């Protein structure tokens, strides 16, 4: 073998070394995705919401944050009277009993399910996240149940668009992805998939998990779904740590044409 390598010119040896390194890198990355998927999918659900006449209203995604409790976006359940949740890859459905937390300002909701003791995902410390960090978005885009999309954190920490604190990500998300978890390589939730800029190229956003943690801290008794549209929005916590507040956004950016093209990701 050594004699064979000695016959290869230096440039050829460099190509071989780079090829081996690239193969190892992509193999390790694929392995990370497989491990993360195995940890996260048992906690991801597809939500089918219905109006007062039991007619289909919209569908979206969600994930368990406590036994029998899932998190999603408020716009997924807005004006819904009934709904069911189904874990990706499972046949059993769980009835949504109602809400235990609503934050309209940050587009978050906590739903109580009946007899759904599933594993909960851990929320990440977003003060430690970095631009370029690898992430994975989970959900049910276009009803393609149990979809994982890789990407990175692509924005400067938190963005402010329309008064919302959002994490910019490159992981592809589509209609039906709303409410799905965006996780890091440790399968910890950094955010909740919420919207895209329709005029851009893969400009996607997630509500940071720190805001979800605040809502979990003030969760209340179960309220009927149809009462959520008339409930008051949660008040921002004045004691929220600095990393939960927006950095790097200007007032002018809020009035730009791009902001008016933000699209919520439900069907």
User: Would you please indicate which residues are annotated as catalytic (active-site) residues?
Assistant: 75, 107, 178
**Is 198 in a helix, a strand, or coil?**
coil
Inter-residue contact 82 to 50 (CB < 8 Å)? yes
- Two tokens, residue 211: 């805001």
Q: CA 24, 29, 34, 35: dihedral to nearest 10 degrees?
A: 100
- On the CB side of 70, how many CA atoms lie within 13 Å of its CA? 34
Instruction: Select from 155, 158, 137 the least CA-distant residue to 146.
Output: 137
Task: Classify residue 104 by its DSSP letter.
Answer: T
Helices (H), 44-185: 74-77
- CA atoms of 151 and 132, how far apart (whole Å): 9
How far is 125 from 215, CA to CA, in rounded Å? Answer: 15
Q: Other CB atoms closer than 10 Å to residue 37's CB: what's the count?
A: 18
């Amino acid at each position: 073998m050594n004699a064979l390598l000695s016959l290869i010119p230096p440039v050829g040896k460099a190509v071989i070394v780079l090829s081996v390194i690239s193969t190892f890198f992509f193999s390790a990355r694929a392995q990370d995705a497989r491990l993360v998927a195995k940890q996260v999918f048992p906690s991801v659900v597809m939500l089918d919401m219905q109006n007062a006449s039991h007619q289909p209203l919209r569908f979206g995604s969600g994930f368990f944050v406590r036994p029998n409790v899932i998190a999603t976006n408020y716009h997924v359940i807005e004006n819904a009277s009934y709904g069911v949740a189904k874990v990706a890859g499972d046949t059993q459905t769980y009835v949504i009993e109602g809400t235990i937390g609503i934050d309209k300002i940050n587009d978050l909701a906590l739903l109580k399910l009946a007899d759904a003791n599933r594993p909960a995902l851990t929320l990440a410390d977003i003060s430690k996240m970095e631009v370029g960090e690898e992430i994975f978005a989970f959900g049910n885009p276009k009803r393609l149940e149990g979809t994982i999309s890789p990407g990175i954190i692509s924005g400067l920490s938190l963005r402010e668009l329309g008064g919302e604190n959002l994490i910019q990500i490159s992981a592809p998300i589509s209609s039906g992805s709303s409410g799905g978890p965006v996780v890091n390589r440790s399968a910890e939730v950094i955010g909740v998939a919420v919207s895209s800029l329709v005029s851009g190229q893969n400009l996607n956003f997630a509500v940071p998990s720190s805001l979800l943690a605040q809502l979990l801290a003030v969760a209340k008794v179960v309220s009927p779904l149809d009462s959520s549209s008339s409930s008051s929005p949660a008040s921002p916590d004045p004691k929220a740590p600095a990393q939960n507040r927006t950095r790097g956004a200007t007032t002018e950016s809020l009035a730009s044409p791009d902001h008016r093209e933000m699209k919520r990701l439900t069907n």
